[in-house]
Structure 1
Amino acid sequence: MRILQTVSVKQILTETSKNNLLEKFKHNKQQLKKECDQLLFEMRKMERTRKMVSGSLKSQFDKEIDIRKEKVKLIEFQMEQLEILPLGSELHDQEVQAIIDVQVGDNWDEINNGKTIVVKDGIVTEIRER
């Protein structure tokens, strides 16, 4: 029988992966700022065309802008933490699904323990039993 199991993927921090992560963070931060600007633009546009924006509509715009501003703060925090981390640190990257063969007589605890895949600069360097 085959079952699906979640496998953790960890990335070893190198100079290359650190730079790639910083670029990704910067891109996401810039995208969120663009979305905030677009929401502000749309809100002002509605104020001009309708002459009066309902309170609930304005509060919805404000809520969406605040959500994005919180995400920007989180990204800034992640960037600060990334700068502090030493090279060689392991970062949780993602989780993937794997197909595991299960046979009668297999040790369930070993199967259920799961595995971790360690990646360094895009190359799998290790597969660990948890």
Structure 2
Amino acid sequence: MIRKAVVKKVLTPDERARIRATLQTNHDQAVREYEQLKFYLKRSEHQKQTETTQRLRKELVAKEEAVESINFQMEQLDLLPGGTELKVAEVEIEQDIEVGMQWEDKPAEIIVEDGVIKDIR
């Protein structure tokens, strides 16, 4: 039988550093894209390209919101206590069933700590 399972990572110092590095990379990329969009916006305003200007303004707002979201995630990461289980994915697993087994409606959980499966619940 195929069943859903939730994959959770335990927040260890190494995992926190990995997540922070990923968030920082995403933040830097979003800031670069934001600055590039600002440049294109100024150029389109100077050339009086109305449709392009409107599209770039929308993209600029979306990119600004993305930067703010990443900043918020970094702040929240600092507040989480060590040992917190973070949901990272949902996967499908194969499970053997037999007549008479106890049926559980809730999805299974796979707990990963520092890249190693520690528990399957």
TM-score under structure 1 normalisation?
0.80
- Same amino acid, percent of matched pairs: 31
The count of corresponding residues between Structure 1 and Structure 2 is 121
Which residue number in structure 2 is paired with residue 123 of structure 1?
116
Task: Measure the CA separation in 2 of the matches of 1:80 and 1:67.
Answer: 20
Q: Distance in 2 between matches of 1:108 and 1:41?
A: 62
Matched residues in 2 for 1:66 and 1:74: separation?
Answer: 12
Alignment match, 2:87: 92
Deviation at 1:81, TM superposition (A): 0.9
Q: Which amino acid aligns with 1:30?
A: D
Large movers: runs of 4+ above 6 Å: none
Question: What value does the CA root-mean-square deviation take over the aligned residues?
Answer: 2.0
Q: Does 1:53 align with 2:49?
A: yes
For 1:69, the equivalent position in structure 2 comes to 64
5+ residue gaps, structure 1: none
Gaps of 5+ in 2: none
Q: What SS is found at the alignment partner of 1:113?
A: coil
Within 2, Cα distance between the matches of 1:21 and 1:36?
22
C-alpha displacement of 1:41: 2.6
Shift of 1:107: 6.0
